[in-house]
């Protein structure tokens, strides 16, 4: 099968290349596509150097599946062109809420791959992807009524430049030098910023609204959700604190069993010093890790938990490749 990756030189594009290589995905020809600035450079795949092609001139008829990881504006312009010849798997937010475009996490709603109308499949927000993979097995058993989400999101979720800015600001702070912010609304080094994406209605940010709407579309529109999204000074991996209220009663043993047996999830919850997972340990791992599982003693049929996942993998590249695998399997 011929595969193309638009945005191959970016954070997520490079991770898609890594995932395809590690999974030994069956590929006849692989095309790296990017802007004219990157065209002509070379990337490696399985030890072979492949030249990056210019997006403006790329012939999408050469690919059966095309991954888009170059931002919403690029997807808006070029994904419909690619979709005339190829199945498009889009990592941007542009098509996620389009009713004619399935929004897919294969472990949760692979059945929606049978509803493809525009030859485009959307990949959810990175924070949504790790959230729904946890909620799905619990919803199946206990009927989720409401979820309160607080996220602690790494700078890689905003791109390479914000990651570089975190490193630069950290150095300046340690040297007691003046810090200015280009990619954040406040200093990110040694700080936490309760603001991701633009502000929208009622004081929420677009990131918070995306999490709510995407979860409803993927899992169940009857579930009530509210979110607060925070950027923290970490390079890779997003963490989330979840308060989950169920319609049915539960035991913690059943909760742990359901999560530990769920595809893509791993429970590490030893209830001792260090008996949980943090963003540093989740980096480079495929699993979504769950820790600190406990009853909420202030509300009936409710639990609290902590989860962490590599946002460049589960939240982007890994999920995109798993969508491709599920699509091929369901054809």
Residues annotated catalytic, as ranges: 126, 238
Q: Helices in 6-159 by DSSP H: which ranges? A: 11-22, 72-82, 106-109, 126-142
Contacts of 75 by beta carbon, 8 Å cutoff, 6+ apart: 68, 90, 91, 92, 94, 95
> CA dihedral defined by 171, 177, 181, 182, rounded to 10 degrees?
-80
- Structure tokens that stand for 204 in this block: 């929420």
Distance between CA atoms of residues 260 and 281, nearest Å: 18
Q: Look at residue 259 and give its three-state secondary structure.
A: helix
Q: How many CB atoms lie within 10 A of CB 239?
A: 25
Pair type for strands 144-153 and 238-246? antiparallel
Rounded to 5°, angle at Cα 88 from 76 and 310: 90
């Amino acid at each position: 099968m011929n595969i193309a990756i638009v945005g191959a030189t970016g954070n997520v594009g490079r991770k898609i290349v890594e995932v395809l290589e590690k999974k030994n995905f069956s590929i006849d020809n692989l095309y790296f596509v990017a802007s004219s600035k990157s065209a002509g450079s070379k990337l490696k795949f399985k030890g072979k150097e492949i030249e990056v092609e210019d997006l403006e001139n790329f012939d999408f008829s050469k690919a059966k599946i095309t991954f888009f990881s170059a931002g919403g504006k690029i997807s808006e312009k070029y994904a419909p062109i690619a979709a005339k010849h190829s199945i498009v798997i889009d990592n941007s937010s542009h098509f996620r809420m389009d009713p004619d475009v399935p929004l897919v996490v294969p472990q949760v709603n692979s059945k929606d791959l049978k509803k493809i109308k525009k030859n485009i499949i959307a990949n959810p927000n990175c924070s949504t992807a790790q959230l729904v993979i946890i909620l799905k097995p619990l919803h199946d058993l206990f009927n989720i009524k409401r979820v309160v989400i607080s996220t602690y999101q790494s700078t890689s979720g905003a791109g390479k430049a914000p990651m570089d800015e975190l490193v630069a600001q950290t150095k300046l702070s340690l040297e007691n030098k003046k810090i200015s912010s280009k990619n954040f609304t406040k200093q990110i080094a040694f700080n936490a910023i309760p603001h991701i994406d633009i502000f929208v209605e009622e004081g929420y940010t677009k990131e918070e609204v995306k999490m709510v709407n995407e979860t409803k579309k993927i899992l169940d529109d009857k579930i009530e959700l509210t979110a607060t999204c925070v950027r923290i000074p970490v390079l890779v991996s997003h963490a989330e604190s979840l308060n989950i209220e169920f319609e049915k009663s539960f035991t913690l043993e059943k909760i742990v069993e359901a999560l530990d047996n769920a595809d893509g999830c791993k429970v590490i919850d030893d209830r001792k010093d260090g008996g949980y997972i943090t963003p540093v340990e989740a980096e480079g791992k495929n699993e979504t890790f769950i820790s600190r599982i406990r009853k909420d003693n202030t509300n009936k049929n409710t639990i609290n938990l902590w989860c962490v996942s590599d946002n460049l993998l589960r939240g982007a590249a890994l999920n995109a490749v798993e969508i491709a695998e599920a699509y091929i399997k369901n054809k």
